[in-house]
A and B are shown apart, each in its own frame.
Chain A
Amino acid sequence: KAGVTQTPRYLIKTRGQQVTLSCSPISGHRSVSWYQQTPGQGLQFLFEYFSETQRNKGNFPGRFSGRQFSNSRSEMNVSTLELGDSALYLCASSLELATARGAFFGPGTRLTVL
């Protein structure tokens, strides 16, 4: 089975712009979670989607949003980018919710905001 894929792998944007990141989960997996990783804050949960429904959301401002399509692919969007949004964004997929059996992570998208 192919693993979790994320596109693009690297992205450079400027403050005020918006960005859309994409995640394709492992075939058959219905749950997709998104995490932000920074050296200072570590791994922080953004949101989780299960069968196209957002199941839970972390403590991030409304500028961060996401969605999941019927084929389980997911996108996350960040509007009005700030310098502090520079991070590695990781997507994880699992058969059930990630908490139940563990999750498979993609390689991440490295976002740099200038």
Chain B
Amino acid sequence: SQQGEEDPQALSIQEGENATMNCSYKTSINNLQWYRQNSGRGLVHLILIRSNEREKHSGRLRVTLDTSKKSSSLLITASRAADTASYFCATDYRGSQGNLIFGKGTKLSVKP
């Protein structure tokens, strides 16, 4: 399977702390995207990083991409209770049929 894998599967932190989630994938990509899903709802697109980029920022989010290690990380700084959600990475593999492949996700719990 070309599915990406997030690590850890679950993460519990206190408000104000930083949260780091990792995603590993198997083959070359065009881009990698991060999504958030609140309990049983639709996904929200957070950020897209292309294969020729190493780092991107959006508000309290910082995403890095290491194509040599085939991995990406999502950092949420100064977390809030409202950040409690599942976070998924999705990859656009080179040579794929053009669909996104999602990982199983990291479940983040931010305690007030």
Partners in one complex: yes
A interface residues with partner B (beta carbon < 8 Å): 4, 33, 35, 42-45, 48, 55-58, 88, 90, 92, 97-108, 110
Provide the bound-state CA to CA distance between A108 and B39, in Å. Answer: 12
Provide the bound-state CA to CA distance between A86 and B99, in Å. Answer: 22
User: Is the beta-carbon distance between A4 and B42 smaller than 8 angstroms?
Assistant: yes
A-B interface contact total, Cβ < 8 Å: 59
- Tally of contact residues, B, Cβ under 8 A: 24
Q: Does B57 contact A (CB under 8 A)?
A: no
Cross-chain pairs A/B with CB under 8 angstroms, 26 sampled: A4-B42, A35-B102, A42-B3, A42-B103, A42-B104, A42-B105, A45-B101, A48-B98, A55-B97, A56-B98, A88-B40, A90-B42, A97-B98, A99-B30, A99-B92, A99-B98, A101-B48, A102-B33, A103-B45, A103-B100, A105-B35, A105-B42, A105-B44, A105-B45, A106-B42, A107-B42
